[in-house]
Amino acid sequence: MTVGSRTKTPWLALLSAVLLCAVALAESTSAADDGALKQLRETRKQLAHKQRRVIFNNDGCDALYLPKDEKLTVEKFLAKRTTPLAGTQVDAIAYCTISSGFSFFTHRTKVGAVLTRQPADFGIRNDMRNITQELIDLGTDCLQAVTDFAHKNKMECFWSMRMNDTHDAEYRPDKPYLLYPQLKVDHSDWLVGDPVKRSRHGRWSSVDYARPEIRDLAFRFIEEVCLNYDVDGVELDFFRHLCFFKSTAHGGKASQAERDMMTELMRRVRAMTEEIGLKRGRPILVMVRATDSVDFNRDMGLDVERWLQDGLLDLLVTTCYFRLNPWETSVALGHKYGVPVYPCISDSRVKGEDRFRRGSVESYRGQALEAWAAGADGIHLFNLFDVFGGRSPVFKEVGDPKALRTMNNLYFATVRDGRPDSWLAGGSKYRNLPILTPAYSRTITASKSLSLDLAVGEDFGDKERRFETADPKKAAVSNRRSLESAPQATLHLQMPTLRNVGDVCVKLNGHELSNGKLAKDWLDLNVNPVWIKKGANQIEIAVNPQPAASDAQWTIAYEGDKKPAKPWTRDAGSARTEELLAKGALLIADRGNVGGDYHYYRYPWGADPAGKSVVEARVKVVSGLSRVIITNGVAQERLELQPDRIELWSRKTICHAMDTTKDFHVYRIVTQGKDVKVYVDDELRLDAPGAYVKTAANRNEVCFGASDSTSVGEACWDYVRARVDSQSCQDLVLRVAFPKK
């Protein structure tokens, strides 16, 4: 062969051919992989949009707490919360294997730690036992058992991981806690705080996702489940609990770099689920639960809208402790990016409920209808199991909006009143829903009415339609049947200071509601159903101007011959506090000086910050410190009664020397705007213009009782009376009831 000849040697030609074949094979394999991935994504999209009437989240406590004397079988374990779901509207179960403390799990894990501790060893529920290891010894575990049951009954099963569960915040170095893992003992620097230097927001035991070790562990926890269990998807629960970075835990906002860290974690999860999905020939869906505010999420470090935009999640679940927006906001966000949305209906945790309960079946129906009317793709149920064990009618009803429209329903102005600020500094600014609950009452005055929207999930515009036909008899029959099937609607207002129906004017969508009736602390007003519309309904409550009240006209009156009843509420007190009826007066005593040692009765009176209020109490001091406390939603003041003097809490220099122990005296506190006057037996003794200004932390109540945690005191209370030129609204409920068939 001559130099420069293009003729190839046989071995070179063979090598060239082999390389060409390898390239062709690689290209063919790559094309095949691309095709498989494309098909997987298409199938995943179809699965994401399949009908799920109800997704039921089980927190996994059925494995952590089983009666000690009950013999374990897989069937008995499933019977606690899972078996009753068969035949209901639950189409998917999201099962949480505890995931507390960020590394404890009740499924078989090698990346995390299997939680085999016993509750009784930590002084928790001594009659119960943790059956995690027992199930493993039977050749299964809680997640495997629930997954098998779900698939056998044509349900999906998601593994739910709480991304930063902090039920372990009860831990102290000198007091170990059931759910506090060794991981946090060994790596306390991975946390946002400590038991002493607690974080201002969120909980101190939260892990800090700014650390790569934490993000890697979170990924590996999720990956391990996807590799070892035949789950249909994973639920990444970012709402239990809301804290991911030291920056937010200590009063700041997450940085863009921190948001990028979480987004990168989500990308890893998506890539991993696709890789495993290709191997098993079936997609793994990614479901995320977060707040219903894009901006709140971003400030927390969760760029949920970016995740949606980049295709990193398949199902969106919103809300838990609090709601910030109407359901339409969540639905619009998810649907904008082609992602189904499941509003979360959870236990409300509203305190002080009286006549109507947010945890009732009727309330769950109303909440579900509201969500369906907003365009929800299904309902997510959270923390609904301990009472009903899967047997509640809720599981058979809330997934069918058509049927719900013919059932009795309750609609509340506010279902969840949790504080966004407890998780994020300034988080309340993102709230676009009214807050009205017994714990967050609203004050109404003649100069300041109350206007709010009440979301309703049904439209009654055609419930009283009139029929006109050529045959008057047929028309009469049709009209009678229409009226007989029409619902009755009643608006209920909890207004404990209201004494006369005519003292307020209430309108629904501009229609004045008349013929009201007082029922204890509630005003009941009949509503024409045709005035109710689906979506937001405007409620207006105004106080009608009243003539000047005389001293004899008290809006609140407690006589000391019996213990105060509702709407008075009593502090928990302690073993060192006491109350006792004696000689027509109520003795209230605080004889301790540690945390929780105080004892007061409280009444939500709804005082107008700009108006006038009067409180009168007939009291005999026995010893130490007792108080009358007043707040008006803006400011607070305290009349302090001591054996040798009375004084104002805000201005100790304003005091009056007297013997308060030898006899009963009548103390009258009169406020006008920021000015305070105190009369003793009709004699002006304390005059403090401009003193009523100290922050009241949104409280609006009158209180009487003994001392505080660091002091002691006791006194006898003959009566406590008050008058305000306003009304307090504590709750607002619309009840829709259909005739019994």
Please provide residue 684's backbone torsions phi and psi, each rounded to the nearest 5 degrees: -65, 120
Residue 694's nearest CA partner among 634, 735, 614 is 634
pLDDT of residue 460: 83
Indicate the DSSP class of residue 536.
E
pLDDT of residue 468: 46
Sequence spans of domains, the chain: 35-430, 442-546+728-737, 556-724
Q: Is 172 helix (H, G, I), strand (E, B) or coil?
A: strand
**Domains 35-430 and 442-546+728-737 equal at CATH topology level:** no
Q: Which of 102-111, 174-183, 342-351, 541-550 has the lowest mean pLDDT?
A: 541-550
pLDDT of residue 31: 72
For residues 349 and 320, give the distance between their C-alpha atoms in angstroms, rounded to a whole number: 10
Residue 334's nearest CA partner among 357, 309, 356 is 309
Q: Where are the beta strands (DSSP E) in 277-334?
A: 285-290, 315-318
Alpha carbon separation from 646 to 353, 401, 446, 658 (Å, rounded): 36, 61, 34, 7
CA atoms within 13 A on the CB side of 684: 6
pLDDT of residue 304: 98
pLDDT digits (tens, 9 = 90+) for 527-577: 999 999 999 999 999 998 766 555 557 889 999 999 999 889 999 999 999
pLDDT digits (tens, 9 = 90+) for 78-137: 999 999 999 999 999 999 999 999 999 999 999 999 999 999 999 999 999 999 999 999
Check pLDDT > 50 for residue 1.
no
Indicate the DSSP class of residue 416.
-
Under 8 Å between Cβ of 714 and 627:
no
Q: Which two tokens stand for residue 518?
A: 């007082």
In whole numbers, what is the pLDDT of the chain averaged over residues? Answer: 92
Under 8 Å between Cβ of 146 and 231:
no
pLDDT of residue 26: 52
39: part of which helix (H) or strand (E)? helix 10-48
Residue 438's nearest CA partner among 526, 538, 535, 522 is 522
What lies within 8 Å, CB to CB, of 285 at 6+ separation is 44, 47, 48, 158, 232, 233, 234, 273, 314, 315
For residues 134 and 139, give the distance between their C-alpha atoms in angstroms, rounded to a whole number: 9
pLDDT digits (tens, 9 = 90+) for 55-72: 999 999 999 999 999 999
For residues 360 and 410, give the distance between their C-alpha atoms in angstroms, rounded to a whole number: 9
The pLDDT of 471-496, averaged and rounded, is: 73
pLDDT of residue 476: 58
pLDDT of residue 482: 52
Check pLDDT > 70 for residue 25.
no
Residue 415's nearest CA partner among 437, 389, 382 is 437
| 713 burial type by CB count under 10 A (0-12 exposed, 13-18 middle, 19+ buried) | buried
The second-level CATH assignment, the architecture, of 556-724 is Sandwich (2.60)
Q: 35-430: which CATH topology?
A: TIM Barrel (3.20.20)
Indicate the DSSP class of residue 89.
S
- What would the DSSP string read from start to end of 206-258? -B-TTSHHHHHHHHHHHHHHHHHS--SEEEEESSTT----HHHHTT----HHH
User: What percent of the chain is modeled with pLDDT above 90?
Assistant: 82
- Angle at which helices 256-280 and 212-228 cross, to 10°: 20
Q: Token pair 């709480």 is at which residue?
A: 162
Indicate the DSSP class of residue 635.
E
For residues 542 and 558, give the distance between their C-alpha atoms in angstroms, rounded to a whole number: 27
Alpha helical stretches, state H, 465-618: 472-485
Total Cβ atoms within 10 A of residue 602: 19
Check pLDDT > 60 for residue 682.
yes
The second-level CATH assignment, the architecture, of 442-546+728-737 is Sandwich (2.60)
Under 8 Å between Cβ of 55 and 96:
no
pTM of the model: 0.85
The pLDDT of 667-691, averaged and rounded, is: 97
Please provide residue 510's backbone torsions phi and psi, each rounded to the nearest 5 degrees: 90, -10
Residue 667's nearest CA partner among 679, 655, 650, 652 is 679
Residue 146's nearest CA partner among 51, 81, 220, 211 is 81
Check pLDDT > 60 for residue 480.
no
Check pLDDT > 50 for residue 6.
no
Check pLDDT > 80 for residue 28.
no
